[in-house]
Amino acid sequence: MRELSEIGVVGVVGAGTMGNGIAQVAATAGYEVVVRDIEPEYVERGLDSVDDSLARLAEKGRLGDSPEAIRDRITGTTDLGALAEADVVVEAAVEDLEVKRSVFADLYAVTDDDVVLATNTSTLSITAVASATDRASDVVGLHFMTPVPIMDGVEVVVGEHTADAVVDFAHAFADALGKETWAADDQ
């Protein structure tokens, strides 16, 4: 598993409300972000939402960096292979177990063995999602509160096989994004 200090690229799967919010806070924290969705128009819509959100936050004086600099750290794609460069990946696809299991099987195939794989699920079992990979110990829940750029909370959900070091990493990563965390056991 990579150390937090080694994280340069954050992967996000899903450019909807949760995914684009996660991408925005990661870029605001200084990380390079690759956000992937299945259709170009979903990616474009998600990046447009980030632009709108950054503009609103800039008007209120709530950004430490320019909206352009933050946005320049985010790359959108439909290519799952682009996540191969990610050091941590947060999945924010639709709340459907089979979809999430499919995403995690694909992520398992394209990411390195030392990449933490997180899911933003709020209702599904982390253990069930992680069972789609041979690296269940590297899978953790990072349930961001919505709207992600505004809300401070992230629930770290521990699956049956999630390694302690991965749980510690999840708390530290959320903290690096400016979020407060609490732990919860899997459903």
Tell me which residues are annotated as active site. Answer: 143
Separation between Cα atoms, residue 7 and residue 121, nearest integer Å: 22
Going by their DSSP bridges, the two strands 9-13 and 116-119 should be labelled as unpaired
Separation between Cα atoms, residue 165 and residue 140, nearest integer Å: 11
Separation between Cα atoms, residue 152 and residue 144, nearest integer Å: 8
Q: What does the block give as tokens for 40?
A: 């170009």
Q: Quick one: CA torsion of 121, 96, 148, 157, rounded to 10 degrees?
A: 0
Cα separations (Å) of 141 from 71, 91, 125, 176?
Answer: 26, 9, 9, 16
Separation between Cα atoms, residue 84 and residue 75, nearest integer Å: 14
Separation between Cα atoms, residue 50 and residue 83, nearest integer Å: 19
Separation between Cα atoms, residue 92 and residue 80, nearest integer Å: 14
Helix (H, G, I), strand (E, B) or coil at 33: strand
